[in-house]
């Protein structure tokens, strides 16, 4: 049976930028082993699998080339872009609602991912930075959030696979609170080698970690964010209690059929 398959660049308004995600539209639920094989075949940071429900909503699951994940922001944005209109997704982390804005962006309502203060000693060598560039660290069961001095330090950080793999199961966010040129409030990069992703181009879920932290640090709730990967991407972040709203654009680059 053939399934519609799309590759969508998320958090960008033009092709070959932002974060590419696979979106597979299924008629019914599939085996996890098969979905994992598809994600490995596509070899994108994340592939989304959509299954329609009788009420018009969709079940949504995400797989990296190595494993299933609980939340993926850019593949959710890509899924909403493919389907069009307001969409409600049922996921491991609950219901996620995506709504189109009048300006062509898509707004995603996601749960925050709070972190707690953690020791920051030793992060300099892991990231290829001077220890003096490391300001603080926070952590949760799944994430490490490393605050660095400025956007230049974010851009200078290195994806050192072996040292980063010592943080087993963790994705590492390197971010600042000083922003960069123009209206950018925070710049970040995301490394996740344990999930098969040395560096993620633009990471919606990382901003569910950044959101509560930067809101607490600055006393503000709305931010313009840039992810400083080679492909790069922009998004707007709004913090509202235990939820964040991420806004971004997406572009379909490839549409076809999955015949497996």
Model confidence pLDDT, tens digit, residues 81-90: 999 999 999 9
Asked: is 116-241 a CATH 3.50.50.60 domain? The reply is no
Assess whether pLDDT exceeds 80 at residue 164: no
In which residue ranges of the chain is CATH 3.10.310.10 found? 3-109+247-258, 116-241
What fold, for 3-109+247-258?
Diaminopimelate Epimerase; Chain A, domain 1 (3.10.310)
Give Dmax over CA atoms of the chain in angstroms.
56
What does the buried/exposed string (b/e) look like for 123-154 if buried means 16 or more CB atoms within 10 Å of the residue's CB?
bbebbebeeebbeebbbeebbbbbbbbbbebb
pTM of this prediction? Answer: 0.90
Model confidence pLDDT, tens digit, residues 88-104: 999 999 999 999 999 99
């Amino acid at each position: 049976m053939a399934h519609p398959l799309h590759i969508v660049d998320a958090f960008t308004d033009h092709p070959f930028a932002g974060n590419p995600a696979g979106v597979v539209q299924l008629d019914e639920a599939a085996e996890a082993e098969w979905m994992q094989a598809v994600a490995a075949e596509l070899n994108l940071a994340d592939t989304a699998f959509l299954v329609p429900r009788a009420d018009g909503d969709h079940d949504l699951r995400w797989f990296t080339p190595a494993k299933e994940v609980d939340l993926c922001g850019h593949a959710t944005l890509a899924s909403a872009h493919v389907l069009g209109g307001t969409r409600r997704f049922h996921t491991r982390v609950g219901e996620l609602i995506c709504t189109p804005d009048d300006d062509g962006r898509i707004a995603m309502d996601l749960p925050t991912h709070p972190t707690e203060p953690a020791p920051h000693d030793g992060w300099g060598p892991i990231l290829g930075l001077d220890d003096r560039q490391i300001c603080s660290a926070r952590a949760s069961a799944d994430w490490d959030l490393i605050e660095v001095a400025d956007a230049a330090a974010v851009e200078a950080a290195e994806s050192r696979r072996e040292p980063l793999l010592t943080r087993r199961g963790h994705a590492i966010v390197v971010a600042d609170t000083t922003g960069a040129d123009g209206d950018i409030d925070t710049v970040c990069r995301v490394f996740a080698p344990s999930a098969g992703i040395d560096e993620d181009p633009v990471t919606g879920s990382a901003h569910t970690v950044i959101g509560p932290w930067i809101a607490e640090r600055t006393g503000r709730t709305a931010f313009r964010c840039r992810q400083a990967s080679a492909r790069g991407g922009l998004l707007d972040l709004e913090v509202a209690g235990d939820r964040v709203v991420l806004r971004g654009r997406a572009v379909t680059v490839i549409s076809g059929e999955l015949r497996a």
